Amino acid sequence: MKLYFGIDIGKSNHVAALLSRRLLTRYGHYHLCPTFKIEQSRAGFLSLLGLIKEHGSPRDTCVLLERTGHYGQALEQFLQENHIKVYRILAQTRYGKNKTDKHDARALAALLYSQIELRAPVVNEHDRVWPLVTPSDAASCLRGHVHRRYELVNESTQRRNQLTAICDELFPEFTEVYIDPNSDSALQLRERFPTPQSVASASIDDLCATRKHTRPGRADLISLQQLARATIGTTDHARRSSLILEQEQLIAELRLLTAHVGRLEDEIAVILESSREGQILNSFPGIGPINGAVLLAGIGSIDNFASMQHLRGYLGWAPKATQTGTSYDAVTLDKGGNVLLKRTMYLIALSAIRSDPSWKTLYTRLVERKCDYDARTGKYRDKMKVIGLMRATDELGDVSPPSVSPFSPFLRPFCGFGILSRSLFLHSVAFPARCAGFKFHRRLSILNASVEYSGIPHLSARYLAASPASSNSSSCSDIFLSCFICFFP
């Protein structure tokens, strides 16, 4: 007999509701099904496991949890270690009129039972339950590094903004010589000569000694001294002394944060180089180690996504259609998705526009179609919104040069999902499944189609010629990945 548990996560205690076909027959309604209190401890987890074994088998048990941060991670790990299927659902404000822990647990159990046991259709995607797949070792390790780096970078930005504000108050003319008042050379000078008066009285050789390289030149530093003598910065002695102390501390904090960020980036680069997924992402121009680490950490395992559409929605680059009658019909970018992943994909799209001619062609065409032209300035306005259209639409396959033949029928369904979605999905899902039964001549025909599309010989041709004519799925995925990369040189 299959068991379905809905667990409402708490900090020190959890509430679990049990539901099964037999219990529904006995009680008549899911609101009357039993609930249990689980302590956040080893004893509490073992009592839950004993309850599961009392009513059924752990392998026939499904548990639904909400995404509630780190409070449920220990329970989630315990359930997976005991071969219990774990499902996730987005946290919601309430499941009905009332809001209690028992009511929420029963509602979770009912959702799980209706979708898994009864296979009821889901109208609102917010109510869909997803099987939780254990992430890869690289993704698990990168998750902590990526979030820690994100926090440190935000803190560094705060320190830089504070230092800029202090510079504007102490020595506003400083930026006429140092464009970035928080560069290494600028901070070295500001630390050694914190006030305009100290800059004006210093020798030119002492000022040159604070430079990291050879910029700014001696003439610029002489101009800086002249600006320091005629500065309009604050003359309040008490205020100036407090700003000097604050500036000294902020510079020290910024350097410490920068060192920590550098160490994290070194660790991230090592992990990516040692993982297969990281090598795949790094092979695409514009992604790089940091963006690749964010993607791997956020996705975890490609098995979490049933299709490329779900992956694209999680990345925050899915279209949302709004239509009513004949008065309104629009397609916009959905505001959902992971915030960090969405920003990362935005940066990757910008890089692809700079490095890939096909993306540049698509961007130029969409700007002309979707943006308003300002005749006064001779430029288009709101060009950044086109980035969302490029990731949310299926127009990439329509911008091929006339001399290039179209995509082969095998690869055509993957043309509208962007570099990342296609590479991850093809490598982890489509390639092993489709390549397991391929013979050598079949692989060669698909390779020829891809090379014909690219218009140039590619490393994949030599790689395939040197590979054995076996049907091993792992080697086939390597071959098809090489073929796939040739579409985006």
Task: Compute the average pLDDT of residues 403-425.
Answer: 38
Q: Note the helical H segments in 171-215.
A: 184-192, 196-201, 204-209
Dihedral of the alpha carbons of 394, 398, 404, 408, in degrees to the nearest 10: 40
Point out the least confidently predicted range of 12-21, 219-228, 277-286, 474-483: 474-483
Q: At 393, phi and psi to the nearest 5?
A: -105, 175
**Which residues are within 8 A (CB) of 430 and not within 5 positions of it... i.e. 6 or more apart?**
414
**Which DSSP string corresponds to 421-467?**
HHHHHIIIIIHHHHHTT--HHHHHHHHHHHHHHHTS--HHHHHHHHS
- Residue owning tokens 């990369």: 485
Return the CA Rg of the chain: 29
Q: Is the confidence at residue 421, as pLDDT, over 70?
A: no
Helix (H) or strand (E) holding 140: helix 137-170
**Which residues are within 8 A (CB) of 262 and not within 5 positions of it... i.e. 6 or more apart?**
none
Q: What is the pLDDT of residue 158?
A: 96
Look up the pTM and report it.
0.71
What single-letter DSSP state applies at residue 18? E
Domains belonging to the chain, first-starting first, are: 3-132 (3.30.420.40), 140-269 (1.10.287), 305-398 (no CATH), 412-485 (no CATH)
CA distances in angstroms from 176 to 22, 128, 194, 216, 231, listed in the order given: 78, 56, 17, 11, 12
Q: Which of 206-210, 334-338, 351-355 is the most confident on average?
A: 206-210
Q: What is the pLDDT of residue 169?
A: 94
Residue 202, Cβ neighbours under 10 Å: how many? 19
Model confidence pLDDT, tens digit, residues 28-73: 888 888 898 999 999 999 999 999 998 889 999 999 998 777 888 8
Q: What is the pLDDT of residue 454?
A: 36
At residue 363 the predicted structure's pLDDT band, cuts being 50, 70 and 90, is confident
Task: Compute the average pLDDT of residues 228-248.
Answer: 93
